[in-house]
Amino acid sequence: MADHNVLGKKGEAIAAEYLEKKGFEILERNWVYNHKEIDLIAKHNNYLVVIEVKTRSTDGWESPKEAITNGKIRFIVEATEAYINEMDIENEVRFDVVTLIPNGEDWTIEHIDEAFHPSL
């Protein structure tokens, strides 16, 4: 596995642990629909929360949240609609982003509630 994939998987695991400590119930990790992946799906305060995790080795190039393009948002929303239909979910949906950057032994973590809204 390429180094960036290893870093990404580690970031997703740390993000899931971080969210669980904040009271999120992780329902799915790396849920895939038609080659479109949702990093984490959780329940929190009666919301279905779809979480995009962005991990970078440094913040020198672009911030992790800048890597979430309109195309990526469309993919996430499409996969979310499929998940809702498949699992017969009736909860309101929220789209969060968790960004991670390693800082020595620690991680700089930013959790953005309602980071984006799907286009109507």
* Per-domain residue ranges of the chain: 3-112
Query: By the 8 A CB rule, do 60 and 80 touch?
Result: no
107 class by beta-carbon count within 10 Å (0-12 exposed, 13-18 middle, 19+ buried): middle
- For residues 117 and 17, the model is more confident at 17
| pLDDT at site 9 | 87
pLDDT, tens only, 62-86: 665 667 888 899 999 999 999 999 9
Q: CATH for 3-112?
A: 3.40.1350.10
pLDDT, tens only, 33-51: 998 999 999 999 999 999 9
Candidate from 5-9, 72-76, 113-117 with smallest mean pLDDT: 5-9
Rg for the chain, CA atoms, rounded = 14
> How many residues appear in the chain?
120
Token pair in block for residue 120: 């109507």
Rounded Cα–Cα distance for residues 33 and 18 (Å) = 25
